[in-house]
């Protein structure tokens, strides 16, 4: 009896480990016509007249969300919407010149002379933040997160290839604000 139960237990454990991994990769591309009307309305209202491109649907922990990529003029954004049409988050790619002066100042002050590679304006639950990726010396990259009023939220340094030096430090180990 012991011989039979061990393989069953092992198979059960392996299956239990595999199921969450499969659940994480459940994004599917969908057509505009496949979206619920409430989702279409929210995307249209937040796209600022831009052209909607790729749309993905994802179900995680029983909640279905839709993410639309939108392009207008030279701006690119992503709009995330719940299945009931609730706006969850928008992310807009910007240049440093396009963010408020207080935000520019904070990013520049915390870039330590590095080059700003990318800035995203994120609006989630009505709260606006700006996230800048700064290329520093060597293979270091700094991520600077700033509130809309220019307050520094965090500044984190990390290796660009995640741990090529083998020090096993988490990317948050160099967080300036100690979090």
Residue 139 is predicted with a pLDDT of: 73
- Which positions of the chain have pLDDT values less than 50? 5, 7-24, 160, 162-179
Please give the backbone phi and psi of residue 150, each rounded to the nearest 5 degrees, phi first. Answer: 95, 0
- Domains with residue ranges and CATH for the chain: 27-90 (3.40.1420.30), 95-179 (3.10.450.360)
Residue 26 is predicted with a pLDDT of: 77
Residue 9 is predicted with a pLDDT of: 43
For residue range 86-100, list pLDDT tens digits in order: 999 999 999 999 999
d(CA 174, CA 179): 9
Cβ burial of 54 (10 Å; 0-12, 13-18, 19+) is exposed
Residue 177 is predicted with a pLDDT of: 44
Alpha helices (H) along the chain: 2-24, 37-46, 101-110
Cβ burial of 71 (10 Å; 0-12, 13-18, 19+) is middle
Which tokens is 83 given?
């299945």
Residue 14 is predicted with a pLDDT of: 43
Q: DSSP letter for 1, please.
A: -
């Amino acid at each position: 009896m012991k011989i039979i139960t061990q393989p069953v237990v092992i198979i059960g454990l392996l299956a239990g480990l595999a199921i969450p991994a499969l659940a994480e990769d459940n994004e599917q591309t969908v057509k505009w016509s496949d979206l619920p009307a409430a989702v279409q309305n929210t995307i249209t209202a937040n796209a600022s007249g831009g052209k909607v491109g790729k749309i993905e649907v994802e179900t995680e922990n029983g909640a279905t969300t839709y993410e639309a990529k939108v392009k207008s003029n030279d701006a690119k954004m992503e709009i995330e919407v719940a299945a009931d049409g609730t706006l969850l988050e928008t992310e807009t790619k910007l240049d440093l010149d396009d963010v408020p002066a207080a935000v520019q100042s904070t990013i520049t002050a915390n870039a330590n002379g590095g080059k700003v590679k990318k800035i995203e304006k994120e609006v989630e639950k009505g709260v606006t933040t700006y996230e800048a990726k700064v290329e520093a010396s060597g293979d270091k990259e700094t991520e600077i997160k700033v509130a809309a009023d220019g307050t520094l939220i965090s500044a984190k340094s990390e290796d660009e290839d995640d741990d090529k030096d083998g020090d096993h430090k988490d990317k948050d180990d160099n967080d300036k604000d100690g979090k």
